[in-house]
Every structure is written in structure tokens, then in C-alpha cells.
Amino acid sequence: KPTRGGAVEPESEEEIMTRAKCLHRLPARKRCDRAVCASLVLAVALLCTSAARGQECAWKLRGTAGGPTPRSGHAMVYDSHRSRIVLFGGFNGTARQGDTWEWDGRSWTLRTATGPSPRVLGPAMAYDSGRRCVVLFGGFDGQYRDDTWEWDGGAWSQVATSGPPARNGHALAFDAARGRDVLFGGGGGANDTWEWDGDTWTQVAIGGPPGRGGHGMAYDDARARTVVFGGRFGADYRTDTWEWDG
């Protein structure tokens, strides 16, 4: 449906169903022809919906001040229970950062400057939706770290000092089907896979993808797989894709 401004407004499901009910009341001999019209109505409605969504899908600058200081090498995840983006750490060009910020869709809020030591170069984080906390492992704060921390929305708690060897450049993803945080790789060519169940780290594999750091990793909820792509070891930049099924 066109609006006064000329933009396309998608029909609601209720409006589409009303059209379908009206067509259903027609005499049988007319339904066949009208069925064609109904298909066209549905197709146009879907096209209008797609067009409207296309107009809304774009990058928008939401702010350049009043939030975290300039930095790189930080970690960021989405807390689905509290509807907040959680950011930790990074490097501003002169010093490592140890502050925690949250974004609510409109503004940034500094939540705390205490917790894990200021670190950069891969403090890996994942949101554990089963236990409703952010999990952080490792990174570099002047030395490579092997500590595990959890953020519950109010404070950081150190929950383990043993598990995977100290590292940076690794990746962490939450396997929602099995309730495990999966860690793989790291700088220096690490190729071990570990899982965190909320109490203990368990090494579950050595091998699989060749050793690497700086790779991308995400959990595919629809297929219950953790997917790894790319990364590098030395001058060897990777283009391979791997999946972990647990």
C-alpha cells in the first residue's frame, strides 16, 4: 500500500487473510479465475513487503561520542536475555583497556572498569544463553592469559584459572543445542578444541582444522554446528571452512 510520502507500506497478514476469505465466498465457477487473482494479490503483497524492508535495510551512524573511547582488538557479543550489546577491552594506540560497556540500541553505558585485566588481541567472548551470562577466555595483557570470566549483567566473576593453555587470537562460540561454549585455535598455530560447561573445561579434540589464529567462528543454530572460516598461521592465510558437530 503506498503512503502519502510515496513509500511502500507492506500489507499485514490480517489484510491478506481478509482478501482470501472474500475470495472463498465467491461461487465455485468464479473461484478458479479468482484463485489466479488471489495468487497475484499474494505475490504483490510479498513484493511490497520486500520493497519496504529493502528501504529500511541500511547502515546508519548512531553516534561518535559519549561511548567507549577509540579502540581496536576488543570483544563484543549480544546478551539476548537483557537485550544489550556487551563490549570489553581493546587497545587505544597507547594502552590496553579493561572497561565494560553496554549498548541498548540508543546509547552506551559504562558498566564497570573492574573485572578481567585490561587486555587485547583476542579476549574471546560468547554469550551463554543457557546460563544467561557472557563468557570470556584469554587474551593478552602483557602476557598471554588462561583465565575464564563470566559477566552476569552486573559484575564479572573469575570462574576458572585452568583449562586451555594461555593464548590469544582464538575464537569462542556457544553451542545452544548442547549447552557448551566451544573454543578453537589461537595465535602460534594452536589447533585444539575445548568446551566449557559452566564448571569445567574439557579438551574434546586435537586436530581437525590446521592450527590458526584470527579466524572467524560462529554457531549455526538451524543445523546445530559450529562453523570456522579462515584465519592464519604465520604468512599462511586460510580460505578453508570447517564444521564442529560436538
Predicted confidence (pLDDT) per residue in 156-181, tens digit:
999 999 999 999 999 999 999 999 99
Q: Which residues contact 205 (CB under 8 A, 6 or more apart)?
A: 192, 193, 244
- When mean pLDDT is compared across 22-36, 56-70, 226-240, the lowest value belongs to 22-36
Residue 5 in this model has a pLDDT that exceeds 70: no
In degrees rounded to 5, what are phi and psi of residue 55? -70, -30
| Mean pLDDT on 195-206 | 97
Cα 144 to Cα 133, 141, 173, 177, distances in angstroms = 23, 7, 20, 31
Q: Are 146 and 165 in contact (CB under 8 A)?
A: yes
For 80-127, give the DSSP string: TTTTEEEEE--B-SSSB---EEEE-SS-EEEEES-SSPS-BS--EEEE
Q: What pLDDT, on a 0 to 100 scale, did the predictor assign at position 122?
A: 81
Residue 13 in this model has a pLDDT that exceeds 60: no
Q: Between 56 and 246, whose confidence is greater? A: 246
How would residue 244 be classed by pLDDT, with cut points 50, 70 and 90? very high
Q: Which residues contact 3 (CB under 8 A, 6 or more apart)?
A: 9
Look-up of cell digits 576488543: 74
Residue 202 grid cell: 574439557
Residue 59 grid cell: 547502515
Q: What pLDDT, on a 0 to 100 scale, did the predictor assign at position 44?
A: 42
Residue 32 in this model has a pLDDT that exceeds 50: no
Q: What pLDDT, on a 0 to 100 scale, did the predictor assign at position 25?
A: 53
Question: Hey, which residues does 8 pair with through a beta bridge?
Answer: 2
Quick: pLDDT tens for 45-79.
444 444 445 557 899 999 888 999 999 999 999 99
Residue 29 in this model has a pLDDT that exceeds 80: no
Residue 20 in this model has a pLDDT that exceeds 50: no
| pTM confidence score | 0.78
Cα 215 to Cα 210, 220, 233, distances in angstroms = 11, 16, 10
> Which residue type occupies 161?
T
Look-up of cell digits 553496554: 102
| Mean pLDDT on 88-100 | 96
- Running DSSP on this structure, what letter comes out for residue 235? T
